[in-house]
Copies of this chain bind each other. A is one copy, B any other.
Amino acid sequence: MTAGTDLYAVLRRIRPVHELSARAVEDGLAGTPLTVPLRAVLERVHTDGAQTVPAIARSLYVTRQGVQSMVDRAKELGLLETRANPVHRRSHLVALTPAGTRLFDTVHAAELARLDTVATGLDPADVAAAVRVLDQVVAALEALTTTGRSTP
């Protein structure tokens, strides 16, 4: 068994976790006007503060057009607003409105409560180890994958 074979055991599990966690998030959004992608955009702004559409797209590995659609929808819903960007005249900053912050906080608090249940029986040291492994994988794969590749 090589280190690569051992690590592959982690990567084989990524897709099931990705699909199942998306479904769990979607279930938790019932009764809100949010979809999973829309929630993801709100989360980026919540976590990193007001930012441009291209910045959000890069951090979510999605297209700018996709993010712009989400931002337009969120603005209609009163959850996001745009403001002038002091460092880039044409690329506005996207920010949460107070209503957007309240909705995201409510949704996310419920998600974390459900995750408390999911985390039952997990060794906190194992969870910390998993974060280290995934961080290393992201860093190494970002270095490995084709430079200059355009975001799909």
Contacts and interface: CB of A to CB of B under 8 A. Distances in A.
Interface of A: 2-11, 13-21, 23-24, 27, 60-61, 111-138, 140-142, 144-146, 149
Contacts of A114: 4, 144
Given A124-B3, A137-B17, A144-B114, A130 B10 contact: yes
A27 B137 CA distance: 16
A17 B132 CA distance: 12
A125 B7 CA distance: 11
B116 A3 contact: yes
A60 B72 CA distance: 33
Contact of A118 (B7, B125, B128): B7
A137 B111 CA distance: 14
B11 A17 contact: yes
Contacts of A112: 2, 4-5, 8
Nearest to A141: B20
Contacts of A18: 14-15, 18
A8 B137 contact: no
A11 B134 CA distance: 10
A130 B27 CA distance: 25
A95 B54 CA distance: 44
Of A14, A131, A133, A146, most buried by chain B (CB within 10 Å of CB) is A133
